Amino acid sequence: MYDRLAIVVISIAAWIWIGYTIIENHILLSIVQYTLYTLGILFLVKKLGRRILAFFALSAIIGLIYEVIGTRTGFPFGKYEYNQVLSGSLGVPWFIIFMWGLLSLIVLLTAAPVLKRGSIAITIVPIMLVALDLSIDPIMVELGLWRWVEEGPWYGVPLTNFVGWYVVGLSVFVLSRILLGKGFLNIEDWKGWYVIPYLSHVLAYGIAAPLGALLASFFTGFGILVVLLRVFAM
């Protein structure tokens, strides 16, 4: 029971937590979401072992490295700038670092049955991160959390941004396989629960996201997931 509860808690809490911690005057609600998120992580660690926590930390660090490089050089996302009020000592808002860990963990839970199949699956799974970002970035730009030096066709977001998300995702899953070993992907009990992260994503962003961005994220995510499960998990 704890494993399924963990998925529900961490998925829903993570998305609400991201949404409200970046908006002013929601400190109390943020504390609540921190608590729920921490409980979700603890459940996962208890069920799957400390390597889940290691995966989260590794994902956050990789995301931070790419963000630092990106804000200074434009690689691999394209030229962009964060709101100076939010920027940390490295020029990257702290919640962005956690966001990379959260999103990567959600994709891991979603794609666990196919990730253990090998290198081919690992090269495809990062597209799920890209699918999630289709609805995330338009909201963040609308809130003024960051801006693009050269705007692109997707609600002002350039296509290079999505290439960058794929590069980060690929780095996360390749390095996690190397550093954490193949064994940490042997998660049999998650089958049948892969819809929870995407449903929570749609619920959390359903009000704020532009309709086109929301539908693109929703259907792209499910479409890729179905293909992965059919091809690699049979």
pLDDT mean over 64-80: 94
Residue 209 belongs to domain spanning: 50-232
Would you say residue 17 lies in a domain? no
Distance CA 158, CA 139 (A): 14
Residue 30 lies in a domain: no
What residues have CB less than 8 Å from 230, skipping those under 6 apart? none
33 belongs to a structural domain: no
Peptide bond before residue 76 is cis, with ω within 30 degrees of 0: yes
Count of domains forming the chain: 1
User: pLDDT tens-digit profile of 84-141?
Assistant: 766 666 888 887 888 898 888 888 877 777 777 777 778 888 988 898 888 888 888 8
Tokens standing for 169? 């995702």
Contact of 139 with 209, CB cutoff 8 Å: yes
pLDDT tens, 10-33?
666 666 666 665 555 456 656 666
2 assigned to some structural domain:
no
Q: What is the Cα–Cα distance from 80 to 208, expressed in whole angstroms?
A: 22
Residue 75 lies in a domain: yes
Q: Has residue 163 been placed in a domain? A: yes
Least confident range of 31-45, 84-98, 164-178: 31-45
Contacting residues for 111 by C-beta, under 8 A, at least 6 apart = 121, 125, 128, 194, 225, 228
